[in-house]
Amino acid sequence: MLDVESEIRRLTELMPASGRMLTKIASKPKQSRVIDAAFPKPWQRGDRLIAINFNLWADLSLGERDLLLLSVVCYLVQIRWFKPDIYQGLTLAGVAGVGLQLWQRDAVGMVIAGGLTAIAAQQIWNNYRSNEREIEADAGAIKIAERRGYETTLAAKLLLSAIEHLAQIEQRSSLSFTELIRCQNLRTLALNTQT
């Protein structure tokens, strides 16, 4: 049986400093998933919760647990809603345009500015929920694992094994589309680093 408190401390020490500042690990023994992190909304403040069912978590090897947690932490840390880029700028311009058109009582201008705002906000949302972000999180987890003493090939294989093992532990018949893409990417990474 896994000691939950000592495992939480060990996992917290494994995380990068940014992960320790932004996330919090909690034991959720009744959840059906081994590890789960809700997608952070822009209006949510405070720690981003990583819920782990430690009864199921113990079925993974130590390396699989390490890489799986690092991948989830990297995914959560890379979501920065208020980082200035083109779409945040368009969203702000759209909101300002809606305000200006509202002040001028121009219905057509409000619709156009509102549409610009909606399109830019939707693009931001889709960007953070894309498969690319999951793949970037896996790559980030492997880089952090290298700093923690894992070799690149081993880290990629452990994360691949963890993703495949999750479906078995959670009694799912198959991997999700995103998990299949991640597995393919990790296999490629493991092969490329061996040669």
Write out the DSSP string of 72-102.
HHHHHHT--TT---HHHHHHHHHHHHHHHHH
3-state secondary structure of 26: strand
Which pLDDT does position 38 carry in this prediction?
A: 84
The pLDDT assigned to 100 comes to: 77
What is d(CA 98, CA 113) in angstroms, rounded to the nearest whole number?
5
Q: Would you state the pLDDT for residue 111?
A: 82
Percent of the chain whose pLDDT exceeds 70: 93
The predicted structure's pLDDT at residue 140: 92
Report, as an integer, the average pLDDT of 111-123.
Answer: 80
On the question of pLDDT at 82 being above 70, the answer is no
pTM of the model: 0.80
Distance CA 36, CA 28 (A): 9
- In whole angstroms, give the CA distance from residue 153 to residue 191: 8
More confident residue, 118 or 33: 33
pLDDT higher than threshold 70 for residue 23: yes
Q: Is the pLDDT of residue 128 over 80?
A: no
Least reliable range by pLDDT among 37-51, 119-133, 164-178: 119-133
pLDDT for position 73: 93
pLDDT of residue 192: 80
- The predicted model gives 142-156 an average pLDDT of 92
- DSSP H or E stretch at residue 147: helix 131-147
